Amino acid sequence: MRAATAALDDPPCCWLCLEEGPDESGKPLIRNCSCRGSSGFAHLSCIIDFAENKSRQAFERDKYNVEFYFRICPGCDQYYQDDVKFALAKAELEFVEREYKNNHLLYIDALKERMITLDFKDDHDRPELEIICSKILSIIEEVDNDPLLQYNGLTRAMAMAQRGMGSFRYQLENLKEAKKHFEQAKHLYEAAGDTVVAMGMDRKILMIEAKLSGNKPEVDKAAKVIYWRKLYNECVKKNGENHLFSIDAGILLATVLGKAYHTIEAERHLKNLVQISRRVLGIEHKLTKKALAKLQEIKVREVYVSSEKDWFQALRYESDGEKIVVQGPLPDRPLPERLNERNLDEEKILTVASNDIVPTEGTPVVVKNLQCSQYPSILVPAFMRLKRASYLNGKIGDIRAYSEDDKIFEIHFEEEGFKPTKVKLENVSILFGLPEQKLKRKAWSLPKTILALSALIFIHQKMSHSGMRTQIMLPTHTSPSVTENE
Ligand SMILES: [Zn+2]
Ligand SMILES: [Zn+2]
């Protein structure tokens, strides 16, 4: 009893030097691994001393494994996280630079480890990143023919360094140099089997070529969507849909989808991500919050109110869709600042006629009241046009384009097998909430039916032969979908 109470009351101490409280330089005890209870606390300086000693021993023994003790907690065998990981990557690099600089494998590996704890977008990190990238590249130049450098992990480190150098040159508007680095990065990523990232390098190269030739670089939204879908799927395949990386990549995919006016897909995707992130990471996690903020942003239906000559958020229809309630006006800024900088107290709520508003591109809509083709064509007989147009009523889709001159919207439908269609304002209603997604009903295919039937017959025969009584009924007719398919 006393021992247990004592253990609970024990203040945490460093498991290496056994001291409580801060170390000699005043730095507090830390822990950022999977250790629980009072175990796993240590002074950063003690962990570094321990890792250096163990690393020297490991190097004497097998010339490798030097990095191990800087990255994995010996108490719980898990990788250190966040701030501890950040500090230890720095310590590891300093140690390897001091004692094993001539071992190119170790050196590049330590440089790579430090590189992945830094952020290319962070102004504080960038100078250090630039030094690391140039160090990696100069080692590669120095030991061009070292067969050890063909090792896959190092190919990726080299690719990352080239990519980093490309980004730095690009920021300095040194486009030709940037292009060279991105081309190198592309080849290296391909060699490392990272085809999707290699594709991303291709996009950067094309953008630079456009800039160099004096053209305005065209942001190809469709290509971006394809790229990010692939990247996300690759990530899910590798790590599973619940992994932090997959959730992060999923949010980026949704952002790209939203910008390309694939709002319905983006919204469904974000709903799913919010659920996963809540369950796996918790409500307070920054990714859960990010996914939720994106979901709220994408659910805002922006409309132009002609009588007010301004942009508003549409809230709901009234009077059987004759009227619409709007709130605004929205700040005169591009998205997403437009939504972030709203001052809700100063906005007004109006009810206007539904034909007084124009929904913006990317608005989810449902098609209604189509009776015949919007574009009578002498080539298509009237009865066919009638059939063609009316079956789209009730279908949902995104507005992907709007032509101001003839006030025509181009709708891309969610359901597969429907071509994009052009309709007028009176033929669309804004969709405020998405309906549940219809699951694709898979028709039984003939081969599957035959397979199932023969399996049943086989079991039936087996059981009769072995003298067992059988309750298995052979189907007397096949499902209608089979005959349809035939
Ligand atoms: Zn200590
Ligand atoms: Zn631990």
Per-residue H/E/C for 140-184: HHHCCCCHHHHCHHHHHHHHHHHHHHHHHHHHCCCHHHHHHHHHH
Q: In what order do the strands lie in the sheet with 408-413?
A: 421-424, 408-413, 396-403, 364-367, 428-430
Please name the amino acid found at residue 137. Answer: L
HSE (CB half, 13 Å, CA atoms) of 358? 20
pLDDT (0 to 100) of residue 68:
81
Distance 285 CA to ligand 2 centre (A): 21
Distance 217 CA to ligand 1 centre (A): 55
Nearest ligand, CA of residue 17? Answer: 1
pLDDT (0 to 100) of residue 311:
92
Kindly report the backbone phi and psi dihedral angles of residue 302, in degrees, each rounded to the nearest multiple of 5, phi listed first.
-85, 135
Question: How wide is the angle at C-alpha 269 spanned by C-alphas 265 and 272, nearest 5°?
Answer: 145
CB 357 within 8 A of CB 304: yes
Nearest ligand, CA of residue 81? Answer: 2
What is the number of other CB atoms lying within 10 angstroms of the CB of residue 473?
8
Distance 51 CA to ligand 1 centre (A): 13
Distance 19 CA to ligand 1 centre (A): 6
What is the number of other CB atoms lying within 10 angstroms of the CB of residue 242?
13
Distance 25 CA to ligand 1 centre (A): 11
Kindly report the backbone phi and psi dihedral angles of residue 78, in degrees, each rounded to the nearest multiple of 5, phi listed first.
-110, 155
The Cα 216–Cα 57 span in angstroms is 57
Residue ranges in the chain whose pLDDT is less than 70: 1-10, 63-66, 144-153, 216-219, 335-336, 372-388, 438-486
Nearest ligand, CA of residue 48? Answer: 1
pLDDT (0 to 100) of residue 129:
92
The Cα 394–Cα 264 span in angstroms is 15
Nearest ligand, CA of residue 75? Answer: 2
pLDDT (0 to 100) of residue 418:
87
Going by C-alpha positions, the residue among 407, 70, 390 that lies closest to residue 382 is 390
Going by C-alpha positions, the residue among 154, 158, 174 that lies closest to residue 166 is 174
pLDDT (0 to 100) of residue 462:
54
pLDDT over 90, % of the chain: 39
CB 39 within 8 A of CB 75: yes
Nearest ligand, CA of residue 20? Answer: 1
pLDDT (0 to 100) of residue 194:
80
Which pTM value belongs to this model?
0.57
The Cα 353–Cα 349 span in angstroms is 13
The Cα 397–Cα 367 span in angstroms is 8
The Cα 59–Cα 273 span in angstroms is 44
Determine which helix (DSSP H) or strand (DSSP E) holds 83, and give its type and residue range.
helix 82-99
Distance 152 CA to ligand 2 centre (A): 29
Distance from CA of residue 43 to its chain's centroid? 36
Please report the domains of the chain, with CATH numbers, ordered by start residue. Answer: 361-437 (2.30.30), 446-485 (no CATH)
